[in-house]
Amino acid sequence: MNTTIPKLPFIIKPFLLSLLLSLTVLIFIALQTPHHRKTTPQQPDSTISSKSGGGLRIRPGYSSYDEYIQRQLNKTLNPKLRQIWTTRDWERKVRVFAQFFESLKRRNLLLNSSKALSIGARVGQEVAALKSIGVNDSIGIDLAPYPPLVVKGDFHAQLFMNGTFDFEFSNVFDHALYPWKFVGEIERTLKPGGVCAIHVALSRRADKYSANDLYSVGPLVELFKDSKLVEVRKVDGFGLDTEVVFRKNKRRNI
Ligand SMILES: C[S@@+](CC[C@H](N)C(=O)[O-])C[C@H]1O[C@@H](n2cnc3c(N)ncnc32)[C@H](O)[C@@H]1O
């Protein structure tokens, strides 16, 4: 049997060679080019599931970090709303926050001598509440300042030194685009043995300015890698229904 391969016409040979070369170059370029995401980088999967039930879902839709910040500020800096928050709403909110903090004091989780931080404090009703019950060394942070109660700061990158506070409170976990940074910064700025109380909504979805949805306390507990869960209890706090309290470990291991 004649097994000789038919000779290719002499024009095809260089053509095939150059095709092969071009393909190799294309594959090489494709492997080198970083694949940019359209959105700001998040954890590999934006749904963080929990061993202990429901997950934590990061809301999609922000094309950049600036867009997220701007959206938050649009509401926080609204002059009409600020007028209401600082007048009509003021006393009722300070009174309700003071009840939460008194309750934490009764459980020895907050002391008059505690250095306290309120995260996402807006116009500072919760800071005023802390001061009103005797926790005088209290301050709030928010994207927009409201002196003297609230200083400007992003909770994804707190402006405080490691181990600054004995107590941190927040009812804005749902506004965190990067919940793991939100919690990491709390654990960084808490003193060893310090306490963090967080109010979250589990039974209903939070507002349209939220950046994540939490379906159970499990994912929150998993984010607090250097703390122990102290307690979980039902509360009625301006649309938020659950208080979760953590104590940072005495010896740092993060
Ligand atoms: C629902 S409001 C809660 C305000 C206040 N804690 C209260 O209960 O009256 C959410 C607040 O989180 C603030 N916020 C959102 N993203 C933030 C960020 N990355 N850093 C600091 N504050 C932020 C907003 O500006 C807004 O004041």
How far is it, in rounded angstroms, from Cα 139 to Cα 154?
14
Distance 199 CA to ligand 1 centre (A): 13
Distance separating alpha carbons of residues 107 and 111, to the nearest angstrom: 10
Q: Is the beta carbon of 143 within 6 A of some atom in ligand 1?
A: yes
Residue 236 main-chain phi, psi, to 5 deg? -125, 90
What's the fold here for domain 47-248? Answer: Rossmann fold (3.40.50)
Query: Is the minimum distance from the CB of 178 to ligand 1 under 6 angstroms?
Result: no
**Domains of the chain by residue range:** 47-248
For residue 119, give the H/E element and its range: strand 116-119
Cβ-in-10-Å burial (0-12, 13-18, 19+) of 169 comes to buried
Each residue's pLDDT, cut to its tens digit, for the chain (254 residues) gives 444 445 555 555 666 666 666 666 555 444 433 333 333 334 433 555 555 456 999 999 889 999 999 999 999 999 999 999 999 999 999 999 999 999 999 999 999 999 999 999 999 999 999 999 999 999 999 999 999 999 999 999 999 999 999 999 999 999 999 999 999 999 999 999 999 999 999 977 768 899 999 999 999 999 999 999 999 999 999 989 999 999 999 975 45
- Report d(CA 50, CA 216) in Å as an integer: 8
